[in-house]
Amino acid sequence: MATTIEEVLAKYMPEPAIPVCTRWIRSRNIHLKITGVRSSKLGDYRPLENGQGHRITVNHDLNKYAFLITFTHEVAHLHSFIKYGQYHEPHGKEWKQEFKILLGYFLEMGIFPNDLEEVLQRHLLHPPSSSCHDAALMKALKCYDPPTSVPVYHLDELPDGSIFRLYGDRSKLTFQKGVKNRTRYRCQEISSGKAYLVSSLAEVQLLTDAASREST
The confidence score (pLDDT) of residue 49 equals: 86
The confidence score (pLDDT) of residue 3 equals: 79
Helix (H) or strand (E) holding 30: strand 30-35
How confident is the prediction along the chain (216 residues), in pLDDT tens digits per residue? 557 999 999 999 999 999 999 999 999 999 999 998 776 788 999 999 888 899 999 999 899 999 999 999 999 999 999 999 887 888 899 999 999 999 999 999 999 999 999 999 999 998 888 887 788 898 899 889 887 767 888 898 899 999 999 987 777 899 999 999 888 899 999 999 999 999 888 888 999 865 555 544
> What are φ and ψ of residue 193, in 5° steps?
80, 0
The confidence score (pLDDT) of residue 129 equals: 81
Query: How far is 145 from 190, CA to CA, in rounded Å?
Result: 29
Query: How many other CB atoms sit within 10 Å of the CB of residue 65?
Result: 23
Domain ranges of the chain: 5-142, 153-214
Query: How far is 49 from 176, CA to CA, in rounded Å?
Result: 43
- Any idea what the Cα angle at residue 163 is, between residues 146 and 39, rounded to 5°? 50
Rg (CA), the chain: 19
Q: Give the CATH fold of the 153-214 domain.
A: SH3 type barrels. (2.30.30)
The letter for the amino acid at 197 is L
3-state SS of 66-133 is: HHHHHHHHHHHHHHHHHHHCCCCCCCCHHHHHHHHHHHHHHHHHCCCCHHHHHHHHHHCCCCCCCHHH
> What are φ and ψ of residue 53, in 5° steps?
115, -155
The confidence score (pLDDT) of residue 2 equals: 58
